[in-house]
Amino acid sequence: MAEPLRIGLLGFGNIGTGLIESLEANRALLEARCGRPLAVRRIADIDIETPRPVEVDRSILTTDARSVVRDPQIDVIVELIGGIEPARGFVELALREGKHVVTANKALLAAHGPELLALARDRHVRLFFEAAVGGGIPVIRTLEDCLNGNRIERIEAILNGTCNYILTQMLEEDMSFEAALADAQRLGYAEPDPTADIESIDAANKIAVLASLAFGFDVRYEDVWRVGITQLTLQDLRSAITEGYVVKQRAVAELDAEGRLWVCVRPALLWRFHPLASVSGVLNGLMIRATPLGALFLSGPGAGRAATSSAVLSDLLAIARLRPGAPLEPPFLDVPVGRKPLLSPGPEADGYWLRILTDGNTEAVADIADALVSNRVAIERITESLWEQDHSGATHVVEVFTAQAAEEDIRRAAHILDDADWSPPESTPLVLPRVD
Amino acid sequence: MAEPLRIGLLGFGNIGTGLIESLEANRALLEARCGRPLAVRRIADIDIETPRPVEVDRSILTTDARSVVRDPQIDVIVELIGGIEPARGFVELALREGKHVVTANKALLAAHGPELLALARDRHVRLFFEAAVGGGIPVIRTLEDCLNGNRIERIEAILNGTCNYILTQMLEEDMSFEAALADAQRLGYAEPDPTADIESIDAANKIAVLASLAFGFDVRYEDVWRVGITQLTLQDLRSAITEGYVVKQRAVAELDAEGRLWVCVRPALLWRFHPLASVSGVLNGLMIRATPLGALFLSGPGAGRAATSSAVLSDLLAIARLRPGAPLEPPFLDVPVGRKPLLSPGPEADGYWLRILTDGNTEAVADIADALVSNRVAIERITESLWEQDHSGATHVVEVFTAQAAEEDIRRAAHILDDADWSPPESTPLVLPRVD
């Protein structure tokens, strides 16, 4: 058998131990597939004392990540630290040292991806990141290797399993947002500080990476229009389902006919037969629209040790297959620097759903209808009901399904309504796009 | 720019013209991705006179496919003829001549795949066939490049869009099997001779190819346990849906704990929340269960010019990326010769659904219950109703949901019942596995 692929692992927490376990469990099969031994030579973590559920030779453990990255006896660095620093420094150093890098780090890629990819190209090494987006769903290779004969038109996706779990759980178990979040934290699906998930930061990082690859724009985290899911209540989700819609945290990247790219993550009402509407719990899902293909739908586990291991191992096998010294072809889809997306609330929706709280004033419905119509927004349905949630001062809720409209017109109307006498001080109209 | 990839196309019908159209529509994008011009140098078809919807230089058309295959000015042969002969001869000759081959031909692969792949390896060329299974769903690359870090455990799939269209249409439009088939033929989804689709020959070819790749067994067409969909009636589909099940033509390849491989295509009752239950119309879908991944679900267009073009183009781009003269790595998943699957009705189901026609004899239900129980089959529900379909002599239908049972026990019972006095001469009990 050929020379081993010598692996240095940075980060030996839940995901890192999972990777070692998966590698050991299928070692013979994986080595037969790539024709080389897969040798984990060194593992760095800030904590090398706490016992792990997997056995490794203690002599390969170190707290000095930099020494692993610089070790000339290592061919590839697997970065499972997460976050931007110090991961960025290690990845950059590894690439400069001529090592291949496999990372699961979406935040790093959404902040510095183009520069790191350019550095990898410059040093004739690979920077692979299948695990960074979609967990076990192989969406990076799907775009890069499988759909490269297509012009991608739109990616619509559920990319954050934590939010999807919370929204699923609220509806299925009649839970408040807060209770479902606590449940997700108890199960380890949400971090003690859940901000990155529920404020759509994680999903924004991921759609930024996908949009860069699929459309060849320079899309960074800050280019993504982002709305969190914290405003959603159980009553909202129930109202939507009664009308045939499921509320999802939906990430979209769409190239319009004028060649402008729209990238956003925000809650949206999806018609219940929309493929993403059936993606429930911690699963992720993606609808990719392309020409000539049509539409491809993928769903699978979006996070966790098993899903991440599957993705990292496919990256390691691809690297194991490279012939040392042979020139590297650039990837099919390269991340260019230059063209930027629109920073905007996203492509045109089929309509909007508005939820506006009131103090019970009988003029409210007429005011709402007036504000919308005078801003060129046609109303399909408008209903008033009791507001069952605890919200200071609100006793009633008015819900509106609008026809197709410009989001700026909807927002102008919502802004007027926010100032109405009957609008409780702490409430603001909720505006969600609708996908029929 | 580098030297062009010189393409010879065999077959200039619906699919072939679609390929040329898609290539022309996105030429600049595709050539930028692979860094080479994509030059269609010659096109062979038995009919080069009928006008095509796409314009090509008439001087590249020929009726002599063999001359295209032997042309030293061609690097890759795209085989879109279909069927085993003469396609096999051309593909074999092309590989012997040292040309790469891209084919959409599942029948050819299910009959001669291992030999052709061995020949390609021997001649240091590629034989790619993304379009042969799943149409536009990139399932070959998903297995080969994306899930290669996994041990595949089961593939469950809807692989024939024609059957799926017929079954969807029957239920949604209250149509008989015959009417839905005629409808599919009118729309071009079914051939004038629909045998290959409705007798599950096409799907058997496809699951044979997938099973070979995923499990490393030598699975040929004749190794697949195969049941057609012609026995299904609208009343059957309605009965199933009433109980929460959707009837689908389901292909399965599953490796059991003893390392035995089961490969079958047959109609089955899928619980309505099973991901494949939502794959409707001409779409295809696949559930791939693997370790460490978990389960990945894919769905998309399973056939047609656009879907096939997407797949063929990804194969062509992969070939365009190979450096002429550079040694070729073997594929990750290689088709071995040797280990054969079981020829058997498939892995254990969660239970069975039986439909037994009677002449209205009041003893029938008792006889059926007795035959099942005496063959160790536990009954969950048994119902009798009027048989509404036209079937000589049958007036009543008995339906049985069984608990988990050995299929041989079910079949033994069904055999006894087939001989009952009350069994109309032309009817035979229908036995469908159930997936809860």
Each residue of B168-188: pLDDT tens digit?
999 999 999 999 999 999 999
- Which residue out of B21, B128, B146 would a mutagenesis test of the A interface target, given it has the greatest number of A Cβ atoms within 10 Å? B146
DSSP output for A323-345? PTTSPPPPPSS---SS---B-SS
Mean pLDDT value of segment A71-79: 98
Residue B248 DSSP SS3: strand
Helix/strand/coil percent split, chain B, to 5: 35, 25, 40
- Tell me, what's the pLDDT at A135? 95
Instruction: Give the pLDDT band (50/70/90) at residue A391.
Output: low
Q: Are the beta carbons of B298 and A298 closer than 8 angstroms?
A: yes
Question: Minimal Cα–Cα distance from B417 to chain A, Å?
Answer: 41
Judge: A138–B136 Cβ closer than 8 Å, yes or no.
no
Residue A352 DSSP SS3: strand
Of B298, B317, B327, the CB nearest to A149: B317
Comparing CA positions, the residue from B309, B35, B29, B318 lying closest to residue A216 is B29
Of A150, A299, A310, the CB nearest to B150: A310
Radius of gyration of chain B (CA): 24
- Tell me, what's the pLDDT at B113? 94
**To 10 degrees, what angle do helices B305-320 and B14-25 make?**
60
Task: Determine phi and psi for B25, rounding to 5 degrees.
Answer: -65, -35
Q: Kindly identify which residue of chain B lies nearest to residue A290, measuring between CA atoms.
A: B310
Of A29, A138, A301, the CB nearest to B294: A301
Residues of B within 8 A of A326 (CB-CB) are 326
Comparing CA positions, the residue from A252, A221, A261, A225 lying closest to residue A110 is A221
Catalytic residue among B99, B206, B248, B340: B206
Instruction: Give the pLDDT band (50/70/90) at residue B64.
Output: very high
Q: Are the beta carbons of B311 and B136 closer than 8 angstroms?
A: yes
Give bridge partners of residue A226 from the DSSP assignment.
A265
User: How far apart (Å, rounded) are the C-alpha atoms in residues A221 and A206?
Assistant: 8
For residue A226, the one-letter residue type is R
Q: Kindly identify which residue of chain B lies nearest to residue A151, measuring between CA atoms.
A: B26
Of A148, A309, A314, the CB nearest to B33: A148
- Tell me, what's the pLDDT at B335? 62
Task: Give A227-253 pLDDT, tens digit per residue.
Answer: 999 999 999 999 999 999 999 999 999
* Percent of the residues in chain B that have a pLDDT greater than 90, as a whole number: 89
The helix (H) or strand (E) run that includes residue B135 is none
User: How far apart (Å, rounded) are the C-alpha atoms in residues A313 and B145?
Assistant: 11
Q: Kindly identify which residue of chain B lies nearest to residue A273, measuring between CA atoms.
A: B278
Residues of A within 8 A of B316 (CB-CB) are 149
Instruction: Give the pLDDT band (50/70/90) at residue B324.
Output: confident
Judge: B292–A312 Cβ closer than 8 Å, yes or no.
no
B99 as an active site residue: the answer is no
User: For the stretch A125-137, what's the b/e string if a residue is b when 16 or more beta carbons lie within 10 angstroms of its beta carbon?
Assistant: bbbbbbbbbbbbb
- Tell me, what's the pLDDT at B26? 94
Task: Give A139-162 pLDDT, tens digit per residue.
Answer: 999 999 999 999 999 999 999 999
User: How far apart (Å, rounded) are the C-alpha atoms in residues A315 and A101?
Assistant: 9
Identify the residue whose tokens are 């390609």. Answer: B120
Task: Give A287-341 pLDDT, tens digit per residue.
Answer: 999 999 999 999 999 989 999 999 999 999 999 998 777 778 777 776 666 788 8
Which stretches of A193-233 are DSSP H helices? Answer: 195-198, 201-215
Task: Give B189-204 pLDDT, tens digit per residue.
Answer: 999 999 999 999 999 9
Question: Minimal Cα–Cα distance from A135 to chain B, Å?
Answer: 9
User: How far apart (Å, rounded) are the C-alpha atoms in residues A155 and A365?
Assistant: 37
Mean pLDDT value of segment B275-298: 97
Comparing CA positions, the residue from B364, B398, B401 lying closest to residue B379 is B401
Task: Please check the confidence at residue B336 and state whether its pLDDT lies above 90.
Answer: no
- Tell me, what's the pLDDT at A174? 96
Q: Which two tokens stand for residue B281?
A: 């119309």
Task: Please check the confidence at residue B129 and state whether its pLDDT lies above 90.
Answer: yes
Residues of A within 8 A of B291 (CB-CB) are 22, 25-26, 306
Judge: B314–A146 Cβ closer than 8 Å, yes or no.
yes
Catalytic residue among A99, A106, A206, A248: A206
Mean pLDDT value of segment A122-150: 96
Judge: B299–A301 Cβ closer than 8 Å, yes or no.
no
- A-B C-beta contacts closer than 8 Å: 178
Cβ neighbours, 10 Å, residue B347: 20
Residues of B within 8 A of A292 (CB-CB) are 18, 21-22, 25-26, 305-307, 309-310, 313
Torsion, Cα B411 B415 B421 B423, to 10 degrees, reads 60
Q: Which two tokens stand for residue A165?
A: 């779990």
Question: Minimal Cα–Cα distance from A59 to chain B, Å?
Answer: 27
Judge: A22–B292 Cβ closer than 8 Å, yes or no.
yes
- Of the CA atoms within 13 Å of residue A265, those in its CB half-sphere come to 31
- Which residue out of A140, A296, A315 would a mutagenesis test of the B interface target, given it has the greatest number of B Cβ atoms within 10 Å? A296
User: How far apart (Å, rounded) are the C-alpha atoms in residues A41 and A53?
Assistant: 19
- Tell me, what's the pLDDT at A83? 95
* Percent of the residues in chain A that have a pLDDT greater than 90, as a whole number: 89
Task: Please check the confidence at residue B216 and state whether its pLDDT lies above 70.
Answer: yes
- Tell me, what's the pLDDT at A12? 97
Task: Please check the confidence at residue A215 and state whether its pLDDT lies above 70.
Answer: yes
Judge: B25–A333 Cβ closer than 8 Å, yes or no.
no
Sign of CA dihedral A134, A135, A141, A146: negative
Q: Which two tokens stand for residue A282?
A: 């911690």
Task: Give A406-424 pLDDT, tens digit per residue.
Answer: 999 999 999 999 999 999 9
Residues of A within 8 A of B290 (CB-CB) are 310
Q: Which residues contact A95 (CB under 8 A, 6 or more apart)?
A: A101, A116, A119, A120, A123, A125, A127
Task: Please check the confidence at residue B391 and state whether its pLDDT lies above 70.
Answer: no
- Tell me, what's the pLDDT at B337? 64
Judge: B149–A30 Cβ closer than 8 Å, yes or no.
yes
- Tell me, what's the pLDDT at A354? 97
Instruction: Give the pLDDT band (50/70/90) at residue B347.
Output: confident
Identify the residue whose tokens are 């090592």. Answer: A99
User: How far apart (Å, rounded) are the C-alpha atoms in residues B161 and B206?
Assistant: 12
Task: Please check the confidence at residue B102 and state whether its pLDDT lies above 70.
Answer: yes
The helix (H) or strand (E) run that includes residue B201 is helix B201-215
Query: What is the value of pTM for the model shown?
Result: 0.95
DSSP output for A256-279? -TTS-EEEEEEEEEEETTSGGGG-
Q: Are the beta carbons of B395 and B362 closer than 8 angstroms?
A: no
User: How far apart (Å, rounded) are the C-alpha atoms in residues B92 and B191?
Assistant: 27
Residues of A within 8 A of B303 (CB-CB) are none
User: Apex CA B374: angle with CA B368 and CA B376, to 5°?
Assistant: 105
Question: Minimal Cα–Cα distance from B272 to chain A, Å?
Answer: 12
DSSP output for B173-195? HT--HHHHHHHHHHTTSS-SS-H
The helix (H) or strand (E) run that includes residue B371 is helix B364-373
Question: Minimal Cα–Cα distance from B151 to chain A, Å?
Answer: 7
Question: Minimal Cα–Cα distance from B400 to chain A, Å?
Answer: 30
Strand order in the sheet with B61-62: B61-62, B38-44, B5-10, B76-79, B100-103, B127-128
Q: Kindly identify which residue of chain B lies nearest to residue A21, measuring between CA atoms.
A: B292
Give bridge partners of residue B385 from the DSSP assignment.
B397
Q: Which two tokens stand for residue A399?
A: 């819900």
Of B35, B138, B297, the CB nearest to A299: B297
Of B26, B30, B294, the CB nearest to A300: B294
Q: Are the beta carbons of B383 and B355 closer than 8 angstroms?
A: no
Of A147, A300, A327, the CB nearest to B296: A300
Q: How far out from the chain centre does Cα B181 lie?
A: 18
Residues of B within 8 A of A290 (CB-CB) are 310
C-alpha separations of B393 from B189, B221, B307, B425 in Å: 34, 37, 45, 8
Residues of A within 8 A of B26 (CB-CB) are 149-151, 291-292
Judge: A297–B295 Cβ closer than 8 Å, yes or no.
no
Mean pLDDT value of segment A87-112: 97
Task: Please check the confidence at residue B206 and state whether its pLDDT lies above 80.
Answer: yes
Cβ neighbours, 10 Å, residue B202: 24
Q: Which two tokens stand for residue A155?
A: 């990616």
User: How far apart (Å, rounded) are the C-alpha atoms in residues A152 and A291?
Assistant: 7
- Tell me, what's the pLDDT at A1? 61
User: How far apart (Å, rounded) are the C-alpha atoms in residues A111 and A101?
Assistant: 17
Cβ neighbours, 10 Å, residue A196: 18
Task: Please check the confidence at residue B392 and state whether its pLDDT lies above 80.
Answer: no
Of A297, A300, A318, the CB nearest to B299: A297
User: Apex CA B163: angle with CA B158 and CA B168, to 5°?
Assistant: 90
- Tell me, what's the pLDDT at A134? 97
Mean pLDDT value of segment B118-143: 96
Which stretches of A223-326 are DSSP H helices? Answer: 234-242, 305-320
Task: Please check the confidence at residue A126 and state whether its pLDDT lies above 70.
Answer: yes
- Tell me, what's the pLDDT at B344? 78
User: How far apart (Å, rounded) are the C-alpha atoms in residues A351 and A297?
Assistant: 23
Judge: A298–B298 Cβ closer than 8 Å, yes or no.
yes
User: How far apart (Å, rounded) are the C-alpha atoms in residues B412 and B264?
Assistant: 20
* Percent of the residues in chain A that have a pLDDT greater than 70, as a whole number: 99
Q: Are the beta carbons of A36 and A5 closer than 8 angstroms?
A: yes
Sign of CA dihedral B98, B27, A146, A94: positive
Residues of B within 8 A of A295 (CB-CB) are 300-301
Judge: B149–A291 Cβ closer than 8 Å, yes or no.
no
